[in-house]
């Protein structure tokens, strides 16, 4: 392992996630490391998230395209109805595999593949949600030497997802929503 | 790779193996295991008229070009269990192109090909398929094309009159025909860039001048070596047209 591994942040959110991300992503500076986001939405098949956050953020916001190289200063949203994965050559891969925890995209799938690629350079963040997706993924992130961060359940719109993550990853850092941006900037940038 | 790794680990657990090498041993010594493993490694999820905007664009923008040809060959590459094929067959019948068309439906998964050839789907999927068909600009009723019984919908065998089903690998096999349209959706996402390059080169070789290539909703030629052989024909719907001199 090299002394300064490549850095990236992966974020997973479900119920209440759009609001949580709205108070988080706009704070990240334009030259921040790449951020990959899975948020559970009904598979309406229209891609609204990148448009929604484009005007709010200082980073570039895109919907992830298959085989695209992952670049700093960019936020990648998983397209609706596809899993978002990271390859070990730091490119994006999409997949139509079966849903995980009834979800496609799945947070576990993103976190597990990103952990394999980024190792200790990765920070995983679990936000609000009423689903158990993401906990196993965060455990893999930390097992590979990465950092685990969880929104404190009492500041979450839905507690189940952060609580499940916490029970599987007791060593993860727990922070209220309004402290998460600062935590990401000081540590992962 | 990330996707293959996930599915190999799933298969390892499913077949009760302690390690990937134990799984490998089983596959090498048991022919049935290979077929079983293949079902894990190839992804089989599709819908009739999936992404209706794709089929609407074919109707409105591509069909007028195709009508100028006296005969047509259409390649459904990676046809899986046949949903894409039946959508094309129905659309071509609705547009008056079916009689002049030969469809090649290819896949590496024999079990999928058998299902494609049977054309039997769960009846409870028909509501989605019917809605997709309507949104694609369907001119008839989808129920005209299948009979329902015992919870299953069986598509009319006349839809297969112009179809050749064949075992073909985009990774190891060569071009087998000159075609005017290749539809290969949500297959290339499982390939790395080298394999994508090989597959797209096959399509470029197979397509006649000004022939059409359709990809999945989130796929792009941009990161392949052959992007300069094609023009974006309908950008949003991921329809490409082979260039004159390509």
Q: What is the average per-residue pLDDT within B139-166?
A: 96
Q: Tens digit of pLDDT for each residue in B34-92? A: 777 777 776 666 899 999 999 999 999 999 999 999 999 999 999 999 999 999 999 99
Structure confidence at residue A43 (pLDDT): 66
Architecture of domain B52-242: 3-Layer(aba) Sandwich (3.40)
pLDDT for the residue numbered B32: 79
Q: What is the pLDDT of residues A165-184, one digit of tens each?
A: 999 999 999 999 999 999 99
Domain ranges of chain A: 8-188
Show the CA angle centred on residue B188, arms to residues B186 and B189, nearest 5°.
Answer: 70
Residue B3 CA to residue B6 CA, distance in Å, equals 5
> Confidence class of residue A189 from pLDDT cuts 50, 70 and 90?
very low
Is A188's pLDDT higher than 70?
Answer: no
What is the reported pLDDT for A85?
Answer: 96
Beta-ladder partners of B166: B106
Q: Is A27 a catalytic residue?
A: no
Q: What's the pLDDT at A44? A: 63
For the whole model, what pTM was predicted?
0.85
10 Å CB burial of residue B64 (0-12, 13-18, 19+) is exposed
Which of A22, A27, A40, A89 is the catalytic position? Answer: A40
Which residue in the set A64, A68, A97 is minimally distant from B3, CB to CB? A97
CATH number of A8-188: 3.40.50.180
pLDDT digits (tens, 9 = 90+) for B86-110: 999 999 999 999 999 999 999 998 8
Domain(s) of CATH 3.40.50.150: residues in chain B: 52-242
Nearest to A66 among B1, B6, B219 (CB): B219
B3-31 residue pLDDT tens: 888 878 878 887 888 888 888 888 888 87
Task: Please say whether the beta carbons of B144 and B134 come within 8 A.
Answer: no
Note the pLDDT tens digit of each residue in B189-201.
989 889 999 999 9
Closest CA to B137 of B46, B47, B59, B214: B59
Mean pLDDT rounded to a whole number for chain A: 92
Residues 214-233 of B with CB under 8 A from A: 217-220, 222-224
């Amino acid at each position: 392992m090299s002394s300064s591994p490549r850095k990236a942040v992966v974020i997973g959110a479900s119920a209440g996630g759009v609001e949580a991300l709205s108070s988080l992503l706009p704070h990240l500076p334009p030259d921040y490391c790449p951020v990959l986001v899975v948020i559970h939405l009904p598979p309406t098949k229209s891609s609204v998230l990148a448009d929604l956050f484009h005007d709010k953020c200082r980073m570039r916001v895109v919907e992830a395209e298959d085989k695209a190289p992952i670049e700093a200063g960019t936020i990648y949203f998983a397209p609706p109805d596809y899993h978002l994965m990271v390859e070990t050559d730091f490119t994006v891969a999409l997949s139509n595999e079966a849903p995980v925890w009834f979800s496609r995209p799945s947070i576990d799938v993103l976190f597990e593949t990103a952990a394999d690629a980024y190792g200790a350079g990765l920070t995983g963040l679990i936000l609000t949600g009423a689903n158990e997706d993401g906990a196993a993924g965060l455990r893999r992130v930390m097992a590979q030497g990465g950092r685990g961060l969880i929104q404190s359940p009492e500041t979450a719109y839905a507690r189940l997802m952060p609580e499940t993550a916490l029970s599987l990853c007791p060593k993860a850092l727990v922070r209220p929503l309004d402290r998460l941006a600062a935590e990401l900037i000081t540590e992962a940038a | 790779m990330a996707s293959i790794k996930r599915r190999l680990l799933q298969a390892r657990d499913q077949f009760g193996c302690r390690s990937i090498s134990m799984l490998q041993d089983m596959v090498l010594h048991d022919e049935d295991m290979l077929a079983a493993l293949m079902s894990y490694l190839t992804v089989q999820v599709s819908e009739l008229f999936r992404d209706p905007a794709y089929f609407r664009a074919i109707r409105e923008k591509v069909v007028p070009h195709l009508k100028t040809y006296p005969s047509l060959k259409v390649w459904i590459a990676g046809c899986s269990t046949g949903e894409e094929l039946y959508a094309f067959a129905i659309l071509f019948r609705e547009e008056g192109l079916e009689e002049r068309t030969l469809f090649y439906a290819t896949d590496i998964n024999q079990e999928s090909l058998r299902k494609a050839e049977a054309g039997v789907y769960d009846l409870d999927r028909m509501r989605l398929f019917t809605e997709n068909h309507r949104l694609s600009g369907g001119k008839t009723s989808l129920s005209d094309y299948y009979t329902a019984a015992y919870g299953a919908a069986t598509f009319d065998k006349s839809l297969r009159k112009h179809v050749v089903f064949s075992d073909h690998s985009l990774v190891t096999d060569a071009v087998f025909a000159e075609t005017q349209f290749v539809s290969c959706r949500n297959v290339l996402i499982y390939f790395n860039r080298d394999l994508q390059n090989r597959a797209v080169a096959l399509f470029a070789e197979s397509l006649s001048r000004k022939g059409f290539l359709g990809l999945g909703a989130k796929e792009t030629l941009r990161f392949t070596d052959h992007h300069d052989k094609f023009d974006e024909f309908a950008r949003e719907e991921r329809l490409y047209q082979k260039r004159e001199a390509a």
